[in-house]
Amino acid sequence: MPLRSQFRISCWVFVRLLGGVYTLAFGSLWLQIGGLIGSRGVLPAASWLERVARELGPEKFWRLPTLGWLDASDLTLHLLCAGGAVVGLMVLLGWLQVQGLTALWAGYLSLVVLGQDFLSFQWDVLLLEAGLLAIFLPGAGWKPHGPLATRPPRLAVWLLRLLTFKLMFGSGVVKLASGDPTWRGLTALRYHYETQPLPNPLAWLAHQAPDVLHLASVIVMFVVELGVPFLIFGPPKWRRAGAAALIGLQLLIGLTGNFAFFNVLSIALCLLLLDDAWWMRFWQLIEPASEAPALGMFRRAVLVPLAVVWLLVSLGHLLGAIGLNGAVPSPLRGLESAVAPWRSINGYGLFAVMTTERREIIVEGSDDGETWLAYEFRWKPGDPSRVPPIVSPLQPRLDWQMWFAALRDARASPWFFAFMARLAQAEPAVLELLDQDPFAGRAPTLLRARLVDYRFSSFSELGDWIWWRRTPVGEFLPETPSKELAALKP
């Protein structure tokens, strides 16, 4: 078989990169797990499972597929994160890849379910979807092997390519289908760099660009997201050009924002478009005398029905993305609903509606109602003189959720009241998620939250190390006695 028709090296690279992404995802969550969903966290996983178990009954195991049903204690949560980081590293190094990828998918699914609002991001489900399909790529051996030692199933490779198409094309089409005027008017990038959840220094610089460059960038983005994905189905040269364009877009997005491991994972998927002939230009390899064990009978029996379900559900997602929900037949809707709890066949569409204003929630405490001191978060904008951070490929999940909360009324984010309750209790696990506790580990008498409008500064203001201009907007949560907040149940 010609090298242009083989994808052994790409799959070998992809699986190892996927192991690295899993390591980042589990490791990043491990640093935050206690304050987010631990027994003294914002949304305790164990007590949440107890409540939903009473509502769902036996159906709970399908509706909420998680190992947490066996145990959701703090020790188990930490072991899941630590174990995932270690197993991800093993897959990265080439050891026990089939078993490791299976365990990683099950472990991360468990944490996504337990994480509730804090693990509800599109890259979390993208990792689950890519991780499930990747289980079928490596050979059944347990030792590391060379890039040419295993011939991956063509069906599995094509499913991952189709996932790349669904991700990229879906992200483009929802921007137009949403009817958002900034996307249709090609002005969205005037706002994006400033209003995205966690800007970095290059986002500040990109925001200063002239409007004509922002307009041109939107046009290029639409060409890449709506047109380039179709090159996936073309001959080798087309696929390689498509991979270059898609990877280039992901690099630009990653350089101007903090989107956790999304860009790394997306680039890893794009590498599956490169055939062995392309890799062999830069990487001289010799075909081994014998191959690693092929796809086992069990995995082969699972892959075909999984592919059928994946194709049907993904078709429904794409029809919905382009505004043809009415064209999705009822049986297909039922299938989508049935597999949805497993979060492993998903629709995608980042930034379908562009935020044109940046509102930040400033949380403050006081002992006398006159002097108010702010709790500083580690990563989200606060102090105007603090440099916008670079935190990717890790993800500070509380800081991200604060961005979403600021887009709506406080009552639309019940977790926020649980967070305020933990501040009122001076809970150490939650305070560790912050950069600065102005009350040194004790609870103030009063707490409140204000909405403040944030705008990037100009070049002249940056000379005084002012990165943001701030304007008070209004009240997000009125001043409330800490005792009253502390009585709230997470």
Structural domain includes residue 451: yes
Q: Are residues 324 and 405 in the same domain?
A: no
Measured CA to CA, the distance from residue 98 to residue 314 in angstroms comes to 24
Task: Tell me the CB-side half-sphere exposure of residue 300, using CA atoms within 13 A.
Answer: 9
**For the whole model, what pTM was predicted?**
0.96
Q: Are residues 380 and 435 in the same domain?
A: yes
- Cβ-contact 375, 438 below 8 angstroms: yes
Structural domain includes residue 349: no
**Peptide bond preceding 329 in cis form (omega within 30 of 0):** no
Domain final residue pick, 309, 342, 375: 342
What does the pLDDT look like over 230-246, one tens digit per residue? 999 999 999 999 999 99
Task: Tell me the CB-side half-sphere exposure of residue 200, using CA atoms within 13 A.
Answer: 15
pLDDT exceeding 90 applies to what percent of the chain?
85
Measured CA to CA, the distance from residue 134 to residue 22 in angstroms comes to 12
DSSP state of 14: H
Structural domain includes residue 165: yes
What does the pLDDT look like over 410-441, one tens digit per residue? 999 999 999 999 999 999 999 999 999 999 99
Q: Are residues 465 and 379 in the same domain?
A: yes
Among residues 276, 278, 274, 288, which one has the least CA distance to residue 239?
274
Q: Are residues 327 and 446 in the same domain?
A: no
Q: Are residues 189 and 318 in the same domain?
A: yes
Structural domain includes residue 351: no
Which residue in the block uniquely carries the two structure tokens 């070998």? Answer: 12
Q: Are residues 274 and 386 in the same domain?
A: no
Measured CA to CA, the distance from residue 73 to residue 312 in angstroms comes to 38
Measured CA to CA, the distance from residue 127 to residue 368 in angstroms comes to 48
89, pLDDT greater than 80: yes
Q: What is the DSSP string of 125-175?
A: HHHHHHHHHHTTSS-S-SS---TTS----HHHHHHHHHHHHHHHHHHHHHH
Starting at the earlier edge strand, list the strands of the sheet with 359-366: 373-374, 359-366, 446-456, 468-481
472, pLDDT greater than 60: yes
Q: Are residues 171 and 65 in the same domain?
A: yes
Mean pLDDT of the chain: 94
- Cβ-contact 194, 202 below 8 angstroms: no
Q: Which residue range(s) make up the domain with 235?
A: 3-342
Q: Residue 258 burial (CB < 10 Å; 0-12/13-18/19+)?
A: buried
Q: Are residues 363 and 291 in the same domain?
A: no
Structural domain includes residue 405: yes
Q: Are residues 56 and 160 in the same domain?
A: yes
Q: Are residues 130 and 7 in the same domain?
A: yes
50, pLDDT greater than 80: yes
pLDDT level of residue 297 (50, 70, 90 thresholds): confident
The per-residue pLDDT for 290 is 57
Structural domain includes residue 348: no
The CA angle 29-357-222, to the nearest 5 degrees, is 80
Q: Are residues 149 and 258 in the same domain?
A: yes
Q: What is the DSSP string of 356-381?
A: -S-EEEEEEEESSSSS-EEPEESSSS
CB neighbours of 89 closer than 8 A, spacing ≥ 6?
19, 20, 23
**What is the number of domains present in the chain?**
2
Q: Are residues 99 and 185 in the same domain?
A: yes
